[in-house]
Structure 1
Amino acid sequence: MIPWLSPALQDLFIESAIETAMMVGGAAAIAILFGLPIALLLHATGKGGLAQSGLVNRPLGLLINAVRSTPFIILMVAIVPFTRLVAGTSIGTTAAIVPLALAATAFISRLFESAFAEVDRGVVEAARAMGATRMQILLKVVVPEALPGLIAAITVMLVSLVGFSAMAGAVGGGGLGDLGIRFGYQRFMPEVMASVVVILILVVQGLQSLGDWLVRRVRRR
């Protein structure tokens, strides 16, 4: 795989890459699962929304902003008790998914909300005039119309999660970041650090290219 590294290190790279994929994939799935309904709620209860309510929108928005504004490394440490409660441990790949998912949920919910805000209000008003309920408008009009923006938002989130997962390695989260720190930095092996950086760049470029391609396909349809 990486010819200038020993077979033992190459095996470690494969193991670390799998751990990174698990962290990014698991956190992304959880973030989309929770971020989409949160974004729909923020959109619907916002100013001019289908169910405008400052009592719901403002506190929820403040909570989302508080999580988003907290540096990830601090967030990981701050929610260690919650991580132990959910994952049973505060170190390792499984434990790292908890803060990653929390940060990604706050991040993606705002991006989804922005995508929903770009939907043509004329389409929403037409659906309302035809007698569609609020839930039908949100799920069958707003979400499909915002699909290109949602895919773009997921792409941005995945790219950010790759960086966050590398940061999680600094506190025992595993993955490529942990490998780069333990071998590349602490053991003075620059070839390992360089390899980690190159692999992460290739992964980010691949995710971004795939996301851009999907957005173009959806927009054509």
Structure 2
Amino acid sequence: MKIDVTHQISAVRRKVGKRVLEAGEARVITIGQTYDAPLDDVWDACTNAERIPRWFLPVSGDLVLGGRYQLEGNAGGTIERCDPPKSFAATWEYGGDISWIELRLTAEGEERTRFELEHIAHVDDERWAEFGPGAVGVGWDSMVMGLALHLSTGASVTPDEAMVWVASEEGRRFMTEASEAWCAASIDSGEDEQSARAAAARTTAAYTATGEEGQ
């Protein structure tokens, strides 16, 4: 598994914001990347139960409107909205918490597709202050990287291969740079710079297991 870390980090666009829902204000992180693949192919990669494990995680359930899904060892939820091949929305249920994801795909010509995913969650101020957007953002960075590799090469990456790569020097550099990029997005959203950097340092430590934390 060979990744151009610098290229992949710079290819992704990250945004941090807020949204008012019926239950109150929620945090929103948005991650996007443009792939050199046609719209229908990207949609199939994101919704076909046989392809999803090649770049993300094994998935079970009914991948249809109203159906339940479960990612192995990760989140599950209900598909609440679906507009093939442009968008879908689903709940994201993990560790007793419920949040939401929304995926949008936009054709850029015949052979390029803009991928954009929003993760919307009610996060209390204390937990946000501890880790910031990178807590989930770094994981989504890994996901869009896996999709980039799959779409560009057709390759499949097993969970074991992914774990070995994450523990490598290259993998730790990727996690570190992704965390720093989410820190920059947080600061751009108006977050206090010192607080954002401290939260990012804790996120980096958690993902790379360095044990180093910001002061």
TM-score by length of 2: 0.37
Higher relative helix content: 1
Greater C-alpha radius of gyration: 1
Higher relative strand content: 2
**Which structure has more RCO (C-alpha within 8 Å, separation ≥ 6)?**
1
